[in-house]
């Protein structure tokens, strides 16, 4: 309602609020005035009664002094002329009316009034009260002159005065009218002053402050309020200026952050583009790297496998390189010999040696199918493949398996197997890459076979199948250097067939050639795999025994001598024997392999001298004396 009446102006609002306070205050004052009006009337009437009684006493005193010159009627009439008195009645000490200004009021006092008057300790009391009048009763006190005639106590009688309220209220109403005019004047002056003060001290500063707020709403935070006041409005302006300053800083920081955010978004966008391009480039580099790696592996693998001409070494290099370089778990190579597949090399298994020599038929397992069909086979999970033989129990039961044929001129010469212990870890990519490697492996294996055959023809004797004298020099030099470097024993047997010319003359050269063949088989049977048997020339043989001392050489020589005797015994007659001379290092010290070989020849010569079919160890001291 006030908002509708006074609108938005703070001046009128403040004035209305203050005026409301004044009106409420005046209302409270008037209410208090009205509340205490009766008491005021009582006090006024009591005052008038006291004036009346005092006048009566003075008139009585005057009458006494004048020998009763004034009658009671005159006294009452004199007093009744006072303003506001309704009537006056005089009573004697017994409460009986003596005289009254109004005859109808000459009733005697009531018993309760007399009792009250007897016990009265003050000047008067109110006997009755009506809507228009207020009645007072008080004793009439004796004065000095009255005591000559009156001897009944300290009073002559009683007086009753009835006073009108109207006369009292006239004064009250006049006072209220004056107070009302004063209150209206105060209210008007107060309103004008309030409007002026509000407009000057509050509204104008707040209007300027409101303009700043509107500018701030329009994002203009640069203007500031004038800080020339020390009151609450000045404090508000100061806080508002600080707020604007903070907002300005925040806006500047926000603009800077937005600028940085725009730059960051652009940078992030370009970064994502670059990352995407980088991922594409990385993927291409990865593919290119894998291709280069594959080509590099193919090249290096080719270099590895052509670096040796020894078949066993070649197969070892192939299997170990595939496992170590290509990171497969295991690898095995099987050669095809007619209808048999035989494992010739293995790497990565629990027992590689145990697999060497294991054979499979062409109708057995995955390898047999690959060798028969000439097509590779990929097994993703060997535990679910019935045809997978697990290398006859030597291989774990689960994993991936890949078998590829080794082809040379469209002929399957073998099979290459690789495996992992994780199912589905081998893919078509592995098959394609290993197929390219298998093509190289097949060519190198065949070339190595041809080389081995050619080399074997060049270093072996056609008649006996033993190594010839050319190969003897290579083996002897290698074993001599190894024995000296590692301080290992080395023995050399030189064997000659006794009276072989007579044997040929007696039995013929064909029988002589058969005899040499038989001797070569005897030598092969009774020596180790690391030993080397050589046909040195004609009917002479040399056996190189690595890691063998003099006692071991003597045992081998004796086995060969006895085996020869047993082989060439006819009807209890020995028809062919051998003489053996041997030398052992380091029992005898030499400067080179030639001296070592020459010492064995000296020992053989000594065995011939001592009757043939005997064995002589080279002794440098005794044989040097014999030479001397």
- In three-state form (DSSP H/G/I as H, E/B as E, the rest C), the secondary structure along 138-149 is EEEECCCHHHHC
The span from the CA of 433 to the CA of 111, in Å, is 148
Task: Write out the two tokens for 198.
Answer: 């509000």
Which residues, 6 or more positions from 284, have their beta carbon under 8 angstroms from its beta carbon?
Answer: none
Residue 529: which of 312, 325, 271, 221 has the closest Cα? 312
Residue 612: which of 479, 459, 499, 465 has the closest Cα? 499
Query: Are the CB atoms for 155 and 142 separated by under 8 Å?
Result: yes
Query: Are the CB atoms for 436 and 403 separated by under 8 Å?
Result: no
Catalytic (active-site) positions = 539
3-state SS, residue 240 = helix
CA atoms in the 13 A half-sphere facing the CB of 122 = 6
Q: b/e for 38-62, b at 16 or more Cβ within 10 A?
A: eeebbebbbebbeebbeebbebbee
State phi, psi for 88 to the nearest 5 degrees.
-135, 135
Q: Is 19 exposed, middle or buried (0-12, 13-18, 19+ CB in 10 A)?
A: middle
Per DSSP (E only), the strands in 170-270 are none
Please report, for residues 504, 558, 580, 614, 624, the alpha-carbon distance to residue 609 in angstroms, rounded to integers and kept in the order given: 22, 18, 12, 10, 15
CA atoms in the 13 A half-sphere facing the CB of 175 = 12
């Amino acid at each position: 309602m006030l908002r509708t009446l006074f609108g938005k102006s703070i001046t009128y609002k403040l004035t209305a609020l203050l005026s409301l306070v004044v009106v409420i205050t005046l209302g409270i004052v008037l209410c208090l005035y009205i509340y205490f009006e009766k008491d005021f009337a009582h006090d006024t009437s009591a005052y008038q009664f006291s004036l009346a009684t005092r006048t009566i006493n003075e008139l009585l005193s005057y009458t006494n002094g004048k020998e009763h010159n004034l009658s009671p009627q005159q006294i009452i009439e004199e007093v009744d002329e006072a303003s506001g008195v309704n009537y006056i009645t005089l009573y004697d000490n017994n409460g009986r009316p003596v005289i009254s200004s109004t005859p109808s009021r000459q009733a005697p006092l009531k018993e309760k009034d007399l009792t009250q008057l007897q016990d009265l300790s003050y000047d008067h009391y109110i006997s009755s009260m009506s809507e228009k009048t207020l009645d007072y009763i008080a004793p009439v006190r004796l004065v000095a002159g009255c005591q000559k005639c009156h001897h009944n106590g300290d009073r002559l009688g009683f007086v009753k005065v009835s006073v009108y309220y109207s006369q009292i209220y006239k004064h009250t109403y006049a006072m209220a009218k004056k107070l009302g005019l004063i209150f209206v004047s105060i209210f008007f002056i107060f309103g004008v002053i309030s409007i002026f003060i509000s407009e000057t001290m509050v509204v104008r500063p707040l209007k300027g402050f409101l303009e700043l707020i509107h500018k701030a709403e329009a994002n203009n935070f640069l203007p500031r309020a004038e800080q020339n006041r020390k009151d609450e409005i000045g404090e508000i302006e100061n806080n508002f200026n600080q707020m604007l300053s903070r907002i300005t800083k925040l806006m500047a920081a926000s603009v800077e952050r937005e600028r940085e955010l725009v730059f960051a978004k652009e940078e992030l966008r370009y970064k994502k583009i670059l990352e995407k391009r980088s991922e594409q480039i990385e993927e291409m580099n990865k593919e290119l790297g894998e291709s280069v790696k594959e080509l590099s592996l193919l090249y290096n693998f080719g270099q590895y496998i052509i670096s040796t001409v020894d078949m066993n070494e070649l197969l070892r290099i192939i299997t170990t390189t595939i496992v170590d370089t290509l990171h497969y778990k295991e690898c095995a190579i099987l050669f095809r010999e007619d209808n048999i597949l035989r494992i010739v090399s293995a790497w990565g298994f629990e027992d590689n040696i145990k697999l060497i020599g294991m054979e499979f038929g062409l109708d057995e397992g995955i390898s047999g199918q690959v060798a028969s069909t000439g097509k590779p086979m990929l097994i993703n999970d060997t535990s679910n493949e019935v045809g997978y033989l697990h290398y006859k129990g030597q291989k774990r039961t689960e994993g991936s398996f890949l078998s590829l044929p080794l082809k040379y001129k469209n002929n399957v010469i073998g099979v290459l197997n690789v495996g992992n212990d994780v199912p589905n870890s081998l893919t078509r990519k592995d098959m394609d890459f290993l197929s390219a490697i298998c093509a190289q492996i097949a060519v190198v294996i065949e070339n190595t076979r041809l080389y081995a055959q050619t080399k074997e023809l060049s270093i072996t004797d056609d008649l006996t199948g033993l190594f010839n004298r050319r190969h003897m020099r290579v083996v002897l030099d290698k074993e001599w250097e190894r024995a000296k470097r590692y301080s290992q024993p080395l023995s050399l047997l030189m064997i000659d067939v006794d009276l072989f010319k007579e044997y040929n003359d007696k039995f013929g050269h064909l029988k002589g050639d058969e005899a040499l063949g038989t001797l070569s088989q005897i030598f092969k049977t009774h020596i180790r795999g690391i030993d080397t048997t050589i046909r040195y020339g004609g009917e002479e043989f040399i056996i190189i025994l690595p890691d063998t001392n003099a006692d071991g050489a003597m045992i081998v020589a004796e086995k060969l001598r006895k085996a020869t005797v047993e082989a060439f015994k006819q009807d209890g007659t020995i028809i062919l024997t051998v003489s053996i001379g041997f030398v052992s290092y380091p029992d005898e010290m030499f400067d080179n392999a030639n001296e070592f070989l020459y010492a064995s020849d000296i020992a053989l010569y000594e065995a011939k001298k001592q009757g043939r079919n005997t064995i002589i160890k080279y002794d440098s001291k005794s044989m040097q004396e014999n030479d001397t």
